Amino acid sequence: MYSHLEHDGKHIHTDLTLNQTEIKRRLLEAQENSRAQRKLALHDAVKEDIIVHFIRLYSGYKPSDVKSVTFMECVSLLSVLKNLQPHRTLIHTNLPEFWPFANCAGIIKNWSGVEIVPVRRKFTMQGKRFFFIAHEADVMKFDALVEYGGLVLDFDVYIINGGKVRELMRTWPCFMCDEKAPFLLNAGFIGCRKGSRFPKLMLQRSYHEDFQPKLWLWNSGQMSFNLVAEDPSLVELVPGICNIPTEDRFNVLEHRDRYNWTDKIAYHTFYHDKTFTRAHLRKTNSSFGDLLNWILSDDRRLPGPMLKRRVRPF
């Protein structure tokens, strides 16, 4: 069974009987081959306001400082404001009266572009109860892309090269980061122009027609992969952001010389340590610690290996 498609003027045959590893390999290869030609047409690319979205849902109705964003989540937001400099940064939350950024005092000084957008929790989809609040948040990511367009990020994603992110947003109707697993994409870093097909298709095909309340990654990760396997023109896959191996996700603050940050657009750590503070960072000796310190600094040049090589992000 073949899906015959045209992607940037080139015909791509996706053999849907292949194993998922081979399908993804062919997708990445075909898109990489077309990327160089597409970049030549950047002067004709669509230019829109840069809008970044974060989703922050709470399961209770009596928030406290405990539910404020963590130090590392503050640094994630700072990486967006410093390195991407969007026109608007929208925080979609079901408790708009609660300011979740108490822990960011002294880290983020300019809040002028940050807006709180009230949303209502869905609780159910197609008559089935959500088991995971993050599953519910994923639906809201695609809702936001349909309504506004822009870039949706998780709070454990750090923007490194804002210029390259802007290039992605100018060049492709939609893009989404590749996941290490051969059958998954990752919704922690996904961007779409307003009016693009992919967010609407995900809401319809994945969440309205095939909602699996106990299988969070099926709806956000595997169904997105299935749709792109059917039609590679829907989404440009972005490698190198969300495909950190599972075994490395718990010790990102312990290794040195593992990353060349000048090669990365952004970095999805999958690392959630609510107890980690700036005091802990001062004692950290790791490549990821270098990145966090650079985001917190006033230096706008990108850190290379061991901070020896610098590249301007714009």
Q: In the numeric block, which tokens belong to residue 38?
A: 């597409």
Helix 287-296 to helix 71-79 angle (10° resolution) is: 70
CA distances from 180 to 62, 84, 213, 258 (A): 37, 25, 23, 17
pTM for this one? 0.86
**Which amino acid is present at 227?**
L
Q: Hey, how many other C-beta atoms are within 10 angstroms of the C-beta on 201?
A: 19
Q: Strands 302-303 and 310-311, how do they pair?
A: antiparallel
248's torsion region: left (phi>0), alpha (psi -120 to 50) or beta? alpha
Per-residue pLDDT of the chain (314 residues; tens, 9 = 90+): 434 444 444 434 455 556 777 887 877 777 776 665 665 455 455 678 999 999 999 987 665 655 789 999 999 999 999 999 999 999 999 998 888 898 898 899 999 999 999 999 999 999 999 999 999 999 999 999 999 999 999 999 999 999 999 999 999 999 999 998 888 999 999 999 999 999 999 999 999 999 999 998 999 999 999 999 999 999 999 999 998 777 777 677 777 765 678 789 999 998 888 899 999 999 988 888 989 999 999 887 776 655 444 544 44
Nearest partner of 111 among 95, 89, 94, 96, judged by Cα:
89
Q: Which of 145, 92, 100, 91 is nearest to 121 (CA)?
A: 92
Beta strands 51-56; 88-93: pairing state: parallel
Instruction: List Cα–Cα distances, 224 to 50, 89, 239, 247, in angstroms.
Output: 23, 25, 15, 24
Give the chain's length: 314
Q: Which domains does the chain have, with CATH numbers?
A: 51-241 (3.90.550.20), 246-311 (no CATH)
What residues contact residue 125 under an 8 Å CB cut-off, 6+ apart? 139, 207, 208, 211, 213
Largest separation between any pair of C-alpha atoms in the chain: 57
Beta strand pairing call for 114-118 and 88-93: parallel
